[in-house]
Homo-oligomer: A and B are copies of this chain.
């Protein structure tokens, strides 16, 4: 983790959400009581002061609520999170769910500006972050093609780009094609950096939303059985998920993958070192019948290069279809990081145990929570 003091212009920032809190409780935090002198002789009194109060509440919403500082300065990788922190973040995500549903005009992040600095396209992730910011009343500066950022094209370093963009914004959400880029950015920036995926490296908000989804859907994280299916060799998602779930008790993993994209030894060793049970299986039906979560993934064609035959073989091997659903337990769910091709058949979508679109929505709540925490604290 990068250690760094709170940037000076952050420490004074604060928030209020009139939609989710009662205004009277809010107002108790205002130190100087406001009063109106009423001239008894003339009860037609001027409303100047009254209106001034209204204006104070409506416009100076940044001046009287300061949340307890979030313990992270940046969100760079999954290792930054332990059980307790995850649990607290998930509680904020639940609050965000309520805000998104009931308080369409939330102003929690009013006056804050997020820059989305994407060096490779990822519209889904970008829209999710931008929606999160706007749902909380914040604003967004967008660069979809930061790689063509005229400065980057001219040879500017990432560090210089960050030093410029941080002067225009309050938080930077960054997607990069190089592993470690987010960490370099965080080391430079005096405003929070959120890693929205750096090449083969990390994509921590995806990992968090996956764990959050399991907790929401299954009700617990300890003691769960999770089947990871599909491309386990290249999938950043399933690897990160395995790392994060290893923090919980009595989790058991089943790996179901075509031979060419089997789970790598590093994760297996790590799980073993954490006393997490795992086994490999070639029988998706059996695994599905035992698991609480079947986490299906896409076989990534782009990883196979010219070996289209191997791709085609791997691709069709483990499909989640009605047959799989028929053995899945009633309380269990199917997850998928999306996009989905044909590894889950479309007729599964209507099944209440198909959780993948709810999972996408949870990404919104997790990102709302992280933006809120990084910008205005707990």
- Residue ranges of A at the interface with B (Cβ–Cβ < 8 Å): 9, 13, 18-19, 23-24, 26-28, 33-38, 40, 43-62, 101, 103-107, 110-113, 115, 121-124, 127-128, 130-131, 134-135, 139, 141-146, 148-151, 154-156, 159-161, 163-165, 167-169, 298, 338-341, 346, 357, 360-361, 364
In the bound complex, how far is the Cα of B161 from the Cα of A360, in angstroms? Answer: 11
- Chain B residues lying within 8 Å of A101, measured Cβ to Cβ, are 9
Q: Kindly provide the distance from the CB of A230 to the nearest chain B CB, expressed in whole angstroms.
A: 14
List 13 additional A-B contacts (Cβ < 8 Å) besides A37-B44, A130-B141.
A9-B101, A18-B55, A27-B52, A33-B46, A36-B47, A51-B56, A104-B111, A105-B110, A105-B111, A106-B111, A127-B143, A154-B341, A156-B339
Can you name 15 A-B pairs with beta carbons within 8 Å?
A26-B55, A38-B45, A51-B53, A54-B58, A55-B57, A58-B59, A105-B111, A127-B168, A154-B341, A155-B339, A156-B340, A156-B341, A159-B346, A161-B339, A167-B357
Q: Is the CB of A123 within 8 A of B150?
A: yes
- Chain B residues lying within 8 Å of A28, measured Cβ to Cβ, are 48
Q: Is the CB of B141 within 8 A of A113?
A: no
What is the copy number of this chain in the assembly? 3
Q: Is the CB of A24 within 8 A of B36?
A: no
Q: Is the CB of A13 within 8 A of B104?
A: yes
| Chain B residue at smallest Cβ distance from A163 | B357
In the bound complex, how far is the Cα of B131 from the Cα of A53, in angstroms? Answer: 29
Q: Kindly provide the distance from the CB of A178 to the nearest chain B CB, expressed in whole angstroms.
A: 17
In the complex with contacts A121-B150, A163-B357, A24-B47 CB distance below 8 A: no
Q: Kindly provide the distance from the CB of A376 to the nearest chain B CB, expressed in whole angstroms.
A: 11
